[in-house]
Amino acid sequence: MTGNQILGDSQNQIFANFGKRFFAWMMAQSSSTYDKIVSDVYDGLRLRKRSLFASLQGNVLEIGPGTGSNLPYYPKDIHWIGIEPNPHMHSYLQKQAEKLSLNIDLRIGNSEWLDAQDNSIDTVVSTLVLCSVPNIDYTLQAILRVLKPGGRFLFIEHVAAPQGSLLRQLQSKVSPIWKVIGDGCHPDRETWKALENAGFASVNYEQFDAQLPIVSPHIIGIATK
């Protein structure tokens, strides 16, 4: 390897690290704002989150918890495990947990390698994460692996607009740059198809329009192992 190659690799690592640090900061600033905007235009997404998470118990694993925007909605008596691959998110998560007096179990890993034993988790949670995982099929298989029989996967995700629509065309055109600025986010991912084909015993969801630019279509639901 030449000196120029080493220098180039080092510069790429610095740029990638800066990007992750900036994305963590941006998420910390915008997560509550996102909830408020979507809540205002869609009959209270916060109420839907509260309803979706109200019956959680036992071991709850959240994939990509980011800066902890979901923590206020969780019951106090669960054992919460977070798998957050971006280390720059961790300090924001810890601060949010301390603010809420929650004990959290924060682990290193990624969506395709979940640091949890097989059949050990009662519920897996994902909100606005499946859009950005490198391989959604591998991620869903990892979720199935760690869930107990009868365990549930709760999700809220933005998804691709209908084929042939103007919004879908726009999503496809902006996708390359969107993935760069959105930490790998795919605005045109057909997430519902992956969920239906993953091998869950049942998948139930509903779609709603968040009236946001580019990522307006959302789905919310439960998949059961």
- The total of other beta-carbon atoms located within 10 Å of residue 184's CB is 12
CA gap 31, 70 in Å, rounded: 9
DSSP one-letter code for 132: T
Dihedral sign, Cα of residue 98, residue 156, residue 63, residue 50: positive
User: Which structural domains are found in the chain, ordered by start?
Assistant: 3-224 (3.40.50.150)
What's the token pair of residue 88? 């720059």
pLDDT at 21: 55
* 225 residues of the chain, pLDDT tens digit each: 544 444 444 444 443 454 455 545 444 444 554 555 545 544 457 778 889 998 999 999 999 998 898 999 999 899 999 999 888 888 889 999 999 999 899 988 889 989 999 999 999 999 999 999 999 999 999 999 999 999 999 999 999 999 999 999 999 999 999 988 777 899 999 999 999 999 999 999 999 887 788 998 999 999 999
187 SS3 class: coil
- The number of CA neighbours under 13 Å toward the Cβ of 162 is 5
Which of these, 135, 200, 193, lies nearest to 163 by C-alpha position? 193
Dihedral sign, Cα of residue 174, residue 49, residue 136, residue 82: positive
CA gap 104, 79 in Å, rounded: 7
pLDDT at 36: 53
What is the three-state SS of 35-81?
Answer: HHHHHHHCCCHHHHHHHHHCCCCCEEEEECCCCCCCHHHCCCCCEEE
